[in-house]
Amino acid sequence: MPRIPLTKGEHAIVDEKYHKTLTSMGAWHYWKGCGILSVTGERMPRVVARLAGIKPLSRILFRSDNKLDCRLENMLLTAEDRLWHLVKKAGLDDCWLWNGHTTADGYGRLSIYNRELSATRLVYESTYGPIEPGLDVCHTCDNPPCCNPRHLWIGTRAENNKDRADKGRSFRSRGELSENSKLTESNVIEILDSPETNQALADKYGVDHSLISRIRLGKAWKHVQRA
């Protein structure tokens, strides 16, 4: 497989058909794990996608952790590729958990062309086809991050609300009493008192940085107060 030399002894791996064109564009250098065109600052994965006639999404994901492997087979350039890459498949009837961004309630979200969309809705459409306007995607397993198509069904908002009420979920427990909560009240107090950044705290507690921000702004875990 052709390799394009970069600085620091690194080499980018590219498809044979794009090697000549990429090398003719000028020098490339290595920056934050990625190949950058020295003249324009354009990232190699985006250049390869453009040469292949593919409009990349707002962010390019990779099948491996090597951002210098810029072969098309390693880059997730379509919405469907990115969607299923973030679904952790298990047994046929088990819950398939979402490994990407989630809401505070645990529902998966995927950003496509700077629009944040429901992961379960995208999974359902990818499996069964388009959803008629006004209909919701509901869970038979009552597990928000689950993306197993076998656990998803389509219903009206009224049917969804009735299903939630029939299962005793109309009023969700708040705080650490919620079955989806990753934090405890003591964790929240530590977050409110901590001088660390939102991202540092998100990494520490295994949650999204947006939840840390909402806690500090008083929009989440409102019932927890400093001593």
Q: What is the CATH number of the domain that holds 156?
A: 3.90.75.20
Measuring CA to CA, which residue among 169, 162, 120 is closest to residue 145? Answer: 120
DSSP 106: S
Does 194 map to a domain? yes
Q: Which residue has the higher pLDDT, 171 or 9?
A: 9
Neighbours of 172 (CB within 10 A): 11
Domain that holds residue 138: 81-166
Number of domains in the chain: 3
pLDDT given at position 168: 52
Letter string b/e over residues 90-126, b meaning 16 or more CB atoms within 10 A of that residue's CB: eeeeebbbbebbbbbebbbbbeeeeeebbbbbbbbbe
Look at strands 87-88 and 97-98 and give their pairing: antiparallel
Question: Are 64 and 86 members of one domain?
Answer: no
pLDDT for residue 171 is more than 60: no
Region 47-67: mean pLDDT is 88
Cβ-Cβ contacts under 8 Å for 66 (sequence gap 6 or more): 13, 74
Task: Tell me the one-letter amino acid at 21.
Answer: T
Helices (H), the chain: 16-24, 44-51, 79-85, 119-128, 157-166, 185-193, 198-205, 209-216
Whole-structure pTM over 0.85, yes or no?
no
pLDDT for residue 134 is more than 90: no
User: How far apart are alpha carbons 160 and 106 in whole angstroms?
Assistant: 17
Does 225 map to a domain? no
Question: Are 87 and 157 members of one domain?
Answer: yes
Does 203 map to a domain? yes
pLDDT for residue 75 is more than 90: yes
pLDDT band at 13 (very low <50, low <70, confident <90, very high): very high
